[in-house]
Every structure is written in structure tokens, then in C-alpha cells.
Chains A and B, each alone.
Chain A
Amino acid sequence: MTDPASDTTAFDAVEVVIPSDPAEARSVQDRIELSLAASDASERDIFCIKLALEEALVNAIKHGNQLDLSKSVSISYQVLRLSFEIRITDQGPGFDPDDLPDPTAIENLERPCGRGVMLMRHYMSDVEYYPPGNSLRMRRDFKPKQA
């Protein structure tokens, strides 16, 4: 695991607040991708972060804020030399991430939803929810490139 204290900052921390509009989220995602492309993140790191970010933002806008344009999503992120970290907070009631049905259980395989949190946990090094479950922080440590 990367010790954030020893990780030299590659880019300044960014804080943005967007309305619950998928187009606004897309624009933030594009900016993050540009920063990642200019960092030491590998193609694999970028793939994993993009996928997790998509799930987290869709959850915040659609499930958290119910696409209500009067509600906003706060996003703060930082691309470090060896990791990427982001915190996303919506204005919904939150949920208990440990109370989700296991989407890989045989009886749930045919259910078309409920896989977003699982994908985020797989593709990021760490995902942590804060009560009441409307705010999460996730981090991915980059695989060091060979010298």
C-alpha cells in the first residue's frame, strides 16, 4: 500500500460540486482521465479507475440524488505519483453497502442490477463508505513501472 505522506503530489487536489446531471459527471471524468494519462498510471490503472468512477458517479447521481437537478454531488480528487484518490458525496439518504445482496450468488445472477459496488471494490485498492452511506472515498495504488 502507498503511504500518502511519502507520495509526491503529481497534481493539485481538485474539488468540484456538480448538479445531478450525467453530462456534468462525464466532463469531470474526462478531466480526471486527462490527469491520469499525464501521470505514472498504467493503461490498466486507468481502465480500472474509469470503470470504478463510472459506477460511483452513476450511484451518486441516479440512486443517491435520484437525478434531482436541485441536488448536487461533491467530488474531490487527487492524482498522486503512485496513487489516485477520490471522495464523492451525494445528497441522498445513503445506504448500507454491507447490506447489498451478493450479485454472484446463484439466485441473484439473473438480476440485472446490483453489481456497481462490487466492481468498484474489485477495481480499486480501497473503498470506504461513510455513514449514512452517501459518501465514499476510494483509492487505487498504481503498479510501479519497471525501471
Chain B
Amino acid sequence: MSGQPRKRLEVEELGDIAVVNFLDKKILDEQNIQLIGEQLFALVDNDKKKKIVLDFSNVDYLSSAALGKIIALNNKVKKEGGKLVLCKIKEDIKEVFTITRLDKLIKIVDDQQAALQAAS
């Protein structure tokens, strides 16, 4: 298996919704962010998922480069007529979405149940 990029995401399929958990506590490193972006985009491009829930319960830090990947994923999902919903974001991280006003662009809810409802 050498040469395979390390898995950065855990994806669970609940019906037609892909629920994604981040395996990294810190989404900061440029290389990791690149891999996370590729693995998120593959859900839409390869696996043809249109409804995606991102669960942030494991995430303690994220940078503007990581925000960029989430925005790009949102644009991609929207283009396919799907929905992207974010949930379980810690308060410090939620502030990042609020001050950048990305909470106006992307649906953010508290728990996974609400996220599944919003995505379906």
C-alpha cells in the first residue's frame, strides 16, 4: 500500500447522504489540506454524492486554506444541485465561520441529526 496518500477523512453513508468525519484535529498543514480537498472533491466527482454532511467534532484548529477547500466543495455540490451541511463545530471554530460570514453561505447546524435533516 505504499504510495497511497494517508486517509484524512472517514466517510459513512447514511442513505444517499455522505457523512464525513475529519481525522485531523488540526487542519492547518498545506499538504494535509490539499489531501483533504482531493478526498472531499472525490466524493462529488467520483462517488457522485450530492448530499454531504461535514462533522467537525474532532477539529480544534483550521486555517483559511482549509476554509477555501470547504468553499470550493460547497460550490461543487451546489453546481450538482446538492446540499452541503456542517455540524458539531466547536465554538472557537464556529467564530471563524461567523467573522468570515461563511455561515451565510454554508448551512451550519449544531448536531448530526439536524444536519441529516437539512441535507435530505
Contact = CB atoms under 8 A, between A and B. Distances in A.
Contact of A113 (B30, B68, B102, B105): B68
B30 A22 contact: yes
Interface string B49-60: 000000000000
Contact of B65 (A58, A103, A118): A58
Interface string B33-73: 00000000000000000000000000001011101110110
A118 B99 contact: yes
A76 B61 CA distance: 24
Interface residues of B, number: 23
A131 interface: no
A55 B63 contact: yes
B45 to A, nearest CB: 16
Contact of A109 (B31, B99, B102): B102
Contacts, number: 55
Interface string A44-78: 10010011001100100010000000000000000
Interface residues of A, number: 22
Interface in B1-41: 28-31
A115 B64 contact: yes
